[in-house]
Amino acid sequence: MEGHNTKRTEKIREEYVRILDFLPQGMTNLPVYRRFPVAQSVGCDYFVLLEVTPKQDANFKMQEKVYVGEGERDKVKTIKRRIKYDELTSNAKSEIEEVVESIIDEKQDYFVSFFNKAKPISLKHHQLELLPKVGKKQLMKLLEEREKKPFTSFDDIDKRVKGLPGSKKLIIDRVMEEMMDEVDHRLFVPEFGRD
C-alpha cells in the first residue's frame, strides 16, 4: 500500500486477493453456454473487487488468500474483470465486511499511520473527518493526541481519544462506503475505472 490519498500514476495492481464467493458452475444469470467457473474477490492492498477465473481443477475456499500478481499463479488463470459492489453475489456481500476487517487487521500499522499522517484537504475539512462519525470535536482530540505522541495501534487510539466509536470500525466503515461508491473523496479504494 502506498501513501494515503496520493495520486497514483502507475497502474493499480493487486498482488493478492481474498475470495468472497466461488461459483464452480459460473454465474447463474448467464446462459449455460457462457457459464465458466469464476470467483469474486477483494484485493488485499487497494480493496479492488475482482472476478477471477480458476486454473483447471482449482478450487477456492471462502476468504482464502490467493496470489494474482505478475508471473506464475498457483490457482488463478486470469483476472477476468473489475466489478462493482452491486455486481457481487449475495454470498460475496455477506462475506465482505468480515474479509475487509481481516485485511485491515493484517495491515494495522498502515491504517494506524493514516491517523498519524492524515492532513487537511481544504481550509475547512480534514481527511480524518471523512471517516464516518468523526466530527470537529473528535478531529481536534485526534490531532491533539497525535501531536503529543504518534498512535501505535487501534487500541492506543481508542484509549486516548474518548468518544470515538472504535478506530478500526471507522476504517472498516469508510472502506465499505468507498467500495459501494457512496463517497466523493477517496482515502483507500480507487475509483471504479481507475486501474
Q: 63-96 burial by CB neighbour count: b if 16+ within 10 A, else e?
A: eeebebeeeebebbeebeebbebeebbeebeebb
DSSP bridge pairs for 140: none
Q: What are the pLDDT digits (tens) for 33-84?
A: 777 999 999 999 999 999 999 999 899 999 999 999 998 999 999 999 999 9
CATH 3.40.50.2300 is held by the domain 16-94: no
- CATH class of the region 108-179: mainly alpha
Please report, rounded to a whole number, the percentage of residues in the chain having pLDDT higher than 70: 93
Per-residue model confidence (pLDDT) at position 5: 46
Classify 145 as helix, strand or coil: helix
Cα 169 to Cα 25: distance, rounded to the nearest angstrom: 35
Do 16-94 and 108-179 fold alike per CATH?
no
Extents of the domains making up the chain:
16-94, 108-179
Question: What is the DSSP secondary-structure string of 70-105?
Answer: SS--SSEEEEEEE--GGGS-HHHHHHHHHHHHHHHH
Question: Interior CA angle at 94 toward 89 and 96, to 5°?
Answer: 90
